Structure 1
Amino acid sequence: MGLEVRVDEAAAACEPPTERPLRIAFLSYRSDPKVGGQGVYLREAAGALARRGHAVEVISGPPYPDLPAGVSLVKLPSLDLYAQPHNGHRALRWRHLTSWTDTAEYFGHLSGKFMEPWSFARRAARYMAANRGRYDVVLDNQTLGYGLLEIMRLGLPLVEVIHHPIRRDLELALASEPDKGKRWLMRRWYDFLKMQEAVAPRMTDVLVVSESSRRDVAECLKVPLEAMTAAPLGIDLDAFRPLPEVVRRGNRLLTTASADVPLKGLKYLIEAYAALLPGRPDLELVVIGKLREGPTATLIDTLGLAGKVRFISDLTRQEVAEAYAAATICVTPSLYEGFGLPAAEAMSCGAPVVVTDGGALPEVVGSAGVVVPRGDAGALAEALGALLDDPDRREAMGRAGLARARERFRWARTAQAYETVLYRAVDRRC
């Protein structure tokens, strides 16, 4: 089922563009910032590279991105099955049967697989074959589909961004689900991991978001350590900044979490909150996220917290920054993070942060935050209680976190690291 792509050796030859800006094709299989952190990352990273003078063209499947000025968009339509009111089950049309990509995407989805990385990579390979003269280098945002190998065969330099190995998500999801049928469905949905784990070791230039992620990618995806460069993500420091006009509360915990994604560890924060409430009846817990029927809603009811835990969603960046600015403590209770963007954003707003030792979180907060063992509600409650009782320490932590964020998490710094790797990839192919 590989793509048939003809390679013109003369067209594939190139002159290293080390004395001029790069023409970058930035691939992303779904990119709307409203549906996940992937879209936020794409917008910020593309904008940062454009500000360094590079010509950045985002090539994306739906849902499409919200891009900054100076960055253009090429839309690669898909069946967009998750956007259908019937979950895509009635989306197939006769014309789709003339395309193996469309047909396979539909029936794979129908059988419970997540097909977008596979199908987008095929469409991207066709597009790059027809337009390879427009670009110096391809930057892919963790698609890791077989189509990327076809793009490499075209002679185009390719740099891969890997945020963390998705197998960690599957492992944590399986560990939290006792039902055998649901565990089978999870494995079915994550079937694309086989493809990603076959493609990743073929990547010669890889950007990761932390040293922790670098080690995990080497372990799970078998990418050689020497092929990877760690470049921490940046923060929009104009949006996420201290807001003196917003009064910081003395009794509010804030977290950003998908309610029923086990990796985010919200369960343990809710349990810690329940343990703190008897001695602090006015303590609030605010979650940036949506509550749906499922284990989290059940836990809240079981612990008698209905009406106490507040969920807020569909916020603008300004509203998120205001939420950080009003919080007493910002908490990231995740069991694993390849980076941990909410913790870095909270630090940028001068909020004291408590995180777990899951993945890269200790690397993000350094000595400016409190780190507790992941999956330990008792340790989390103890750390939060100590900070709630110590306003001077919270204020000092907020200052230290702000200084660390301003020094380490600037997109200009990240883009410079990306630029080095992009030029290296181009020079290697030339």
Structure 2
Amino acid sequence: MTAEAIQAASPRPPAGVSAADGDRPLSIALLTYKGNPFCGGQGVYVRHLSRELARLGHTVEVIGAQPYPVVDQGFHLPEGAPGGRVGLTELPSLDLYRQPDPFRTPRPGEYRDWIDALEVAMMWTGGFPEPLTFSLRARRHLAARRGAFDVVHDNQTLGYGLLGLERTGFPLVTTIHHPITVDRQLDLDAATGWRRRASVRRWYGFTRMQKRVARRLPAVLTVSGSSRQEIVDHLGVRQDRVHVVHIGADTGLFSPDPSVAEVPGRIVTTSSADVPLKGLIHLVEALAKLRTENPRAHLVVVGKRAEDGPVAAAIERYGLEGAVEFVKGISDQELVDLVRGAQIACVPSLYEGFSLPAAEAMATGTPLVATTGGAIPEVAGSDGDTCLAVPPGDAGALAAALGRLLDPDTGSELRRRLGARGRERVLRRFTWEQAARGTAEHYREAIAAQAVRAPGLVRTA
């Protein structure tokens, strides 16, 4: 069966069905303290999940702080299909980390209340206040709108303001993409000197709050089996409270297009330059090895370039200034065409809770080289049938895998086979429609559980 046939055969609700599972449509508040899709995977999650929930008939109100989420309010629905809508409510913070003046001190007239003062005080002491302060603002906002929503879905805020939210009449579901304690440990491992390590510990102080809150939540969703186990191990959440709902790629947007010409030797990756978790330095080292045999090999990084730091130093050390390009702020269509035109997509991360870039690259039919860090094998496979898998942090193994795909004799056929089977895998297992259906099922379970615990508080149609 072809990839397109798999997609066409996926079950869809008949016209006239009001919601994902045939019951009444739901009204959903989707909270996100950092929801811009250009800031990372959490923003992509909010945008695509909200749109697909609306396509299934639900009404979704995204409630977010700066950088504000991007939502699809004018999406297309097939004729005769039921559909909800997506709205956006802006819940402003003081936006202390905005460019070009991050870590700014607000003017006296900007302070509105005690939450603003708390936000500044935490920033002054080297902490990251946004998960806590957004949760407090969200709780206040929701308390003023009792009865407005069937369910509240928190996107990894895990702030103290969420505790007790159900007592105000809102069943609560929370998504934890992966425990931020993983990022904290990798940043500590990469830190040099006691001052830098102390700064990392202060910045990640909010993870103590997130641990305490996560343990008290009634229902946690996560995006992979790997993340589920880490939530249990790192955060101490009971295993029976954590449920896996895989996310996916926008397979209509990320799709093959033979009219986009391949650029010989091009490798594309999505990464923040000096986030140790993303493993970009190992890919730069691999590129240096690869170019000794294939001088046309070059790397395009979708992400911001750091002017100094380990990656910049490695690029200079290996003489790769002309072989590594950083692009940022590109449109969705520009990103898709960039991936389509690459001969290889690469995910060099030391750890991923899911890896949207892997799923998106596979959806375009671009062959993938990826590490086995975290949940990446769960998404991309690890048997050589849908991607070439290498150990995380191993530049030599990365260079060897990239070299196999660029081999002038055998690389072309291997790229074709991996690309076709990778797309089939995504269409079969990782689409946003499937994610929305699975998420809606857990909303209904949360509503039913709330009705048992506090029947007088549950919103009725």
Which bin holds the TM-score, normalised by the shorter protein? Answer: over 0.9
Whether contact under 8 Å (2:96, 2:105) holds in the other structure is no
Matched, 1:138 2:163: no
Q: Partner letter of residue 318 of structure 1?
A: Q
Which of 233, 253, 259 is residue 239 of structure 1 equivalent to?
A: 253
Q: Which residue of 1 aligns with 2:388?
A: 370
Q: Which residue of 1 aligns with 2:333?
A: 318
Whether contact under 8 Å (2:105, 2:120) holds in the other structure is no
Q: Which residue of 2 aligns with 1:388?
A: 406
Which of 421, 425, 429 is residue 408 of structure 1 equivalent to?
A: 429
- Superposed structure 1 runs of 4+ greater than 6 Å apart: none
- Per-residue deviation, 1:99: 2.2
- Per-residue deviation, 1:188: 0.7
Q: Aligned equivalents of 2:263 and 2:240: distance in 1?
A: 46
Q: Which residue of 2 aligns with 1:350?
A: 365
TM-score normalised by the chain length of structure 2: 0.87
Q: Which residue of 2 aligns with 1:295?
A: 310
Matched, 1:87 2:102: yes
Give me the CA root mean square deviation: 1.5
Q: Which residue of 1 aligns with 2:52?
A: 48
Q: Aligned equivalents of 2:422 and 2:110: distance in 1?
A: 55
Which of 89, 106, 122 is residue 74 of structure 1 equivalent to?
A: 89
Whether contact under 8 Å (1:89, 1:110) holds in the other structure is no
1:151-196 deviation per Cα after TM superposition (whole angstroms, max 9, x unaligned): 1232311000010000111111111111211111111111100100
Q: Which residue of 2 aligns with 1:335?
A: 350
Q: Aligned equivalents of 1:196 and 1:74: distance in 2?
A: 24
Where in structure 2 are there 5+ consecutive unaligned residues?
A: 1-20, 74-84, 452-461
Structure 1 or 2: larger helix share? 1
- Per-residue deviation, 1:264: 0.2
Matched, 1:429 2:443: no
Residues 171-186 of structure 1 mapped to structure 2, 5 A cutoff: 171-186=185-200
- Per-residue deviation, 1:94: 5.4
- Per-residue deviation, 1:278: 1.1
Which of 98, 111, 130 is residue 125 of structure 2 equivalent to?
A: 111
Matched, 1:271 2:282: no
TM-score normalised by the chain length of structure 1: 0.93
1:15-57 deviation per Cα after TM superposition (whole angstroms, max 9, x unaligned): xx98311111101112122232222211111111111111111
Q: Does the residue aligned with 1:81 lie in a helix, a strand or coil?
A: coil
Q: Which residue of 2 aligns with 1:101?
A: 115
Q: Aligned equivalents of 2:372 and 2:389: distance in 1?
A: 6
Where in structure 1 are there 5+ consecutive unaligned residues?
A: 1-16
Q: Does the residue aligned with 1:397 lie in a helix, a strand or coil?
A: helix
Q: Does the residue aligned with 1:163 lie in a helix, a strand or coil?
A: coil
Q: Which residue of 1 aligns with 2:66?
A: 62
Q: Which residue of 1 aligns with 2:276?
A: 262
Whether contact under 8 Å (1:113, 1:191) holds in the other structure is yes
Q: Partner letter of residue 98 of structure 2?
A: A
Whether contact under 8 Å (1:18, 1:423) holds in the other structure is no
- The aligned length equals 413
Residues 157-176 of structure 1 mapped to structure 2, 5 A cutoff: 157-176=171-190
Which of 164, 170, 187 is residue 156 of structure 1 equivalent to?
A: 170
Q: Does the residue aligned with 1:310 lie in a helix, a strand or coil?
A: strand
Identical positions, percent:
46
Q: Aligned equivalents of 1:81 and 1:364: distance in 2?
A: 35
